[in-house]
Amino acid sequence: MKIDLNSDLGESFGAWKMGDDAAMLDIVTSANIACGFHAGDPLVMHRTMSAAKERGVSIGAHPSFLDLWGFGRRSILGERPDDIEKMVIYQIGAAAALAQTLGHPLAHVKTHGTLGNMAMVDIDLARAVARAVRLFDRDLILVAMPGLALEKAGLEQGLRVAREIYADRTYDDDGNLTSRKIPGAVIEDVAVAVKRVLTMLDEQAITTVGGRTLPVTIDTICVHGDNAHAVAMASTLRTALETAGYTLEAFSKGGGPQN
């Protein structure tokens, strides 16, 4: 059985450092590279992609709202889907150009922060993102949470979609993440997170806070590297997956998800 671990990397900017990318690149099989809109700059992008290539980690673009100050986590409302489409093309293009010069082409696209959250529930925005991916390169794999708007939009556009679950988050009955503002929404206990992931993989289903079981396909698991605890959780999860008999491999390898 194969499974992918993905993480948001390259989130430093200029003089400011963020996250332990070196540690995470030894753990994950796919890296989502910030494209300069919420974090990252040309130098950070190039550095992160080079490091990913050295370790054989597959890379993807991680486009965001243009919101460096708010790290792409502010809700920006009233954008026209057509404009979002261009915004996403622009960022994928920048990432693809750098990746191409490194001989380590982009394999996927995953939306960041609020853009990602909104694309999971707003079908018009989701379609704008999926259109952007298809127009730029229909071979890029779109990462989406299973059962939500972005997955639907990706499939409509004929894209291959990698279904993603989160190791350290709980789910509501719609299969979306519960708000971080709700106590317990972020799972801090490593053992609990690992057990949840193994159960979800085993059952190919998401367990919700309401006690429902939503059947899904799982291609990749998102882990974080913004602090030492997160890195330790990701590392423990990788070991547990290997012990359970999973082979860690980028979802872009071996043909990738076939929908």
Under the binding rule (CB under 8 A), the answer on residue 76 touching other proteins is: no
Angstrom distance (rounded) from CA 108 to CA 62 = 9
Angstrom distance (rounded) from CA 178 to CA 162 = 21
Q: How far is the CB of 43 from other proteins (least distance, A)?
A: 9
Hey, what are 101's tokens? 């010069």
- Residue numbers 164-193 binding other proteins by CB under 8 A: none
Q: Are strands 213-215 and 205-207 parallel, antiparallel or unpaired?
A: antiparallel
Across-strand partners of 72?
A: none
Contacting residue, 1, 15, 181, 211, with other proteins by CB under 8 A:
15
Contacting residue, 37, 65, 71, 251, with other proteins by CB under 8 A:
71
The distance from CA 147 to its chain's CA centroid, rounded to whole angstroms, is 16
Span from 8-16, 124-132, 136-144, 216-224 in contact with other proteins (CB under 8 A): 8-16
Span from 27-35, 63-71, 176-184, 228-236 in contact with other proteins (CB under 8 A): 63-71
Contacting residue, 18, 129, 132, 222, with other proteins by CB under 8 A:
18
Q: How far is the CB of 15 from other proteins (least distance, A)?
A: 4
Under the binding rule (CB under 8 A), the answer on residue 16 touching other proteins is: yes
Using CB under 8 A as the binding criterion, the count of chain residues that bind other proteins stands at 13
Are 111 and 140 in contact by the 8 Å Cβ rule? The answer is no
Contacting residue, 23, 66, 68, 76, with other proteins by CB under 8 A:
68
Under the binding rule (CB under 8 A), the answer on residue 47 touching other proteins is: no
Angstrom distance (rounded) from CA 168 to CA 173 = 17
Under the binding rule (CB under 8 A), the answer on residue 65 touching other proteins is: no
Contacting residue, 2, 17, 80, 86, with other proteins by CB under 8 A:
17
Are 93 and 136 in contact by the 8 Å Cβ rule? The answer is yes
The closest alpha carbon to 235, from 10, 22, 49, belongs to: 22
Span from 10-18, 83-91, 182-190, 228-236 in contact with other proteins (CB under 8 A): 10-18
Q: Are strands 247-248 and 2-9 parallel, antiparallel or unpaired?
A: parallel
Amino acid (1-letter code) at residue 254:
G
Q: How many CB atoms lie within 10 A of CB 180?
A: 10
Of 46 and 53, the one with the shorter C-beta distance to other proteins is 46
Under the binding rule (CB under 8 A), the answer on residue 13 touching other proteins is: yes
The distance from CA 177 to its chain's CA centroid, rounded to whole angstroms, is 14
Contacting residue, 23, 47, 66, 70, with other proteins by CB under 8 A:
70
Under the binding rule (CB under 8 A), the answer on residue 14 touching other proteins is: yes
- The C-alpha angle with vertex 11 and arms to 6 and 22, in degrees rounded to 5, equals 60
Binding site for other proteins (CB under 8 A): 12-18, 41, 68-71, 73
